[in-house]
């Protein structure tokens, strides 16, 4: 697995601590933009991405699985929930995805 983020850079074989650090606004909330991401990828076709730059309105989450188009979660998440979902994904658990509504992602 790889972690790619606008906050702490790239990490091969990331740990839960790496994920927490990437989502925790390590340099404070100043200077972040709404398109800052944390992406945890199994490979090029399978990954979970969280847009973390807009903490006030909640983090946006998108899931991409091989053979399927990207889906965006209708719900927005606080930082603690985003950390939980991403560490669950790191540990091979995506059952939580069934608990949420999904839609075609917003194209910017």
Give me the pLDDT at residue 107, please.
62
Cα-Cα-Cα-Cα torsion 29, 19, 39, 44, nearest 10 degrees, comes to: 160
User: Does the pLDDT value for residue 108 go beyond 60?
Assistant: no
Give me the pLDDT at residue 65, please.
86
Between helices 16-23 and 79-90, what is the axis angle to 10°? 150
Query: What is the tens place of the pLDDT at every residue in 51-95?
Result: 886 667 788 999 998 877 789 999 999 889 999 999 999 999 999
Give me the pLDDT at residue 105, please.
78
Give me the pLDDT at residue 34, please.
63
Residue 74: exposure state from Cβ atoms within 10 A (0-12, 13-18, ≥19) = exposed
Give me the pLDDT at residue 81, please.
93
CA-CA distance, 9 to 83, in Å (whole number)? 17
CA-CA distance, 5 to 15, in Å (whole number)? 14
More confident residue, 45 or 108: 45
Question: 39 has which bridge partners?
Answer: 4, 49
pTM of the model: 0.84
């Amino acid at each position: 697995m790889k972690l790619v983020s606008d906050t702490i850079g790239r990490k091969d074989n990331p740990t839960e601590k790496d994920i927490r650090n990437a989502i925790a606004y390590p340099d404070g909330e100043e200077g972040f933009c709404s398109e800052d991401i944390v992406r945890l990828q199994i490979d090029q076709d399978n990954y979970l991405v969280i847009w973390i730059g807009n903490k006030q309105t909640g983090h946006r989450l998108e899931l991409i699985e091989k053979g399927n188009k990207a889906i965006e979660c209708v719900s927005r998440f606080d930082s603690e929930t985003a950390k939980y979902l991403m560490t669950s994904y790191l540990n091979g658990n995506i059952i939580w995805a069934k608990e949420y509504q999904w839609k075609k992602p917003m194209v910017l």
